[in-house]
Amino acid sequence: MSKFWGSRFEKSTDKLADNFSFSISYDCRLGLYDVIGSIAHAKMLGEKKIISKKESAQLISGLKKIGKKIENGNFQYDVNAEDIHTNIQQELKQIIGPIADKLHTARSRNDLIALDIRLYCLIEFTLIIDLIAKLQKSIIDFAEKNKDIIIPAYTHLQSAQVVLLAHHMLAYVEMLERDKERIQDALNRIDAMPLGSCALSGTSLPIDRSFVSKYLGFSKTTQNSIDSVSDRDFIIEAISSLSILGMHFSRFSEDLIIWATKEFNFIDIDSSMCTGSSIMPHKKNPDILELIRGETAGLYANLNNILVLTKGLPLTYNRDLQLDKPPLFNSVEKTKIMTALLTKLFRTLKVKKESLKNHIYDECFFTVDIMEYLIKKGVPYRLAHDTVGKMVRTCLDKGKSLKALSLDELQKYNKKFNEDVKELIDPYQSVKNKQSLGSTNPKMVNAQIKKWKKVLNVRI
């Protein structure tokens, strides 16, 4: 086709080359941002008298019409116009005529694309923070609804100690809070306005970059034109935060998948989040959680994609940078869906109270409590550990109950034992006896739930 920006060429580009290089199929997502950035630019051009106020107003009115069309979903993207900038420019000419050609004064697609992605990221990552807050809220609601439930906890996926289910859920909330902080931190660096850097060196025209920054609501203006058109660090940072978030999602998913097995039988995942098997009529598979666990691979791949894409790229702009967008868009879109799905899943998640009772009375869960009983009576830690280790070997491993031991039998292990040690062999006592900050003690856990409910003042 004939080239939009191609007067220096004597022939049109190869069709295959066009198909290979055009980005409109995906950068159409940037339409509204391109329009908004262009309105700010046109306004500035008028203010600085680089174009007349009348021309500026004409550009803005045409751009607003395009913005409306995009918002209403009736903007016809021209797949033969290579990218979003060309599409908008072309449409503007259709609407306001040749004056449209003045819009691209004192800017290049190199700084324009940098602006468009930053605007996209500012909106989308702010939205993701909000979605994460909603997920936190739904987890807190689930924790509060089940605040008396005790579950086994694991290290090495081997039975370790009992904890409150709410305590486990609060761990998820902490993880998500760090995710929000990381995204916010990335947002602080995304929030810098690059337009006016032009191709790479700035312009001899008397533009006012700070005006554009303020008009668009940026808190900073980038300070080096070379860096402005080359920098994609902010995308790498932002989607690296999404990779960590995805890693958290995959760990939540794995916990819940295990807990929903017949063997564990701690929870019931709502049927709306499960599917059946095509051959085994009894199956209720936790597909959504499995797919969330699986999609995390895609988030990592997207991060790796942009890291490799930018490695060794010479300054300044190179067309390779066009390829930052599919992985960015994919990470953002997948993250939004997964966050919303998990929010729904926790809202409908049920605990199998009766079944849990069959698990939490296993005496192995209380060996640390018994060991600490001895320590409190002055027995050195090493000896206390050995003593309880022997009780495990000679009783628990042989299916004998510690609770059934007589005082005499107990004192054969250690003279410091009294009948009252048996009170410790109880899940409710076990959690109540914890007193360290951040532990599973019910009072502390309830205080944490209260704190988070106040902090997460969001509606789901």
Window contacting ligand ARG (CB under 6 A); options: 32-40, 67-75, 147-155, 314-322: 314-322
Nearer to ligand ARG, 83 or 179 (CB): 83
Among 296, 322, 367, 441, binds ligand ARG (CB under 6 A): 322
Nearer to ligand ARG, 6 or 438 (CB): 6
- In one-letter notation, the amino acid at residue 86 is T
Query: Segment 58-87, which members bind ligand ARG (CB under 6 A)?
Result: 83
Q: What sections of 50-190 are H helices per DSSP? A: 53-71, 84-96, 109-145, 165-190
- Three-state DSSP at 152 gives strand
CA distances, 101 to each of 48, 70, 399 (Å): 18, 21, 86
Active site residue 277: yes
Is residue 110 near ligand ARG by the rule CB under 6 A? Answer: yes
Active site residue 272: no
What minimum distance in Å lies between the beta carbon of 434 and ligand ARG? 55
What minimum distance in Å lies between the beta carbon of 81 and ligand ARG? 11
Nearer to ligand ARG, 27 or 237 (CB): 27
- Three-state DSSP at 21 gives helix
Total Cβ atoms within 10 A of residue 282: 7
Cα(284)–Cα(275) distance, rounded to whole angstroms? 6
Window contacting ligand ARG (CB under 6 A); options: 169-177, 315-323, 377-385, 445-453: 315-323
- In one-letter notation, the amino acid at residue 312 is G
Question: Looking at beta carbons, which residue is closest to ligand ARG?
Answer: 322
Sign of CA dihedral 256, 261, 267, 273: positive
Nearer to ligand ARG, 262 or 319 (CB): 319
Q: Answer for the pair 212, 40: CB distance below 8 angstroms, yes or no.
A: yes
Among 100, 113, 176, 193, binds ligand ARG (CB under 6 A): 113
Return the percent helix, strand and coil in the chain, to nearest 5.
Answer: 65, 5, 30
What minimum distance in Å lies between the beta carbon of 305 and ligand ARG? 15
Q: Answer for the pair 65, 35: CB distance below 8 angstroms, yes or no.
A: no
Active site residues: 156, 277
Task: List residues near ligand ARG by CB under 6 A.
Answer: 23, 27, 83, 109-110, 113, 319, 321-322
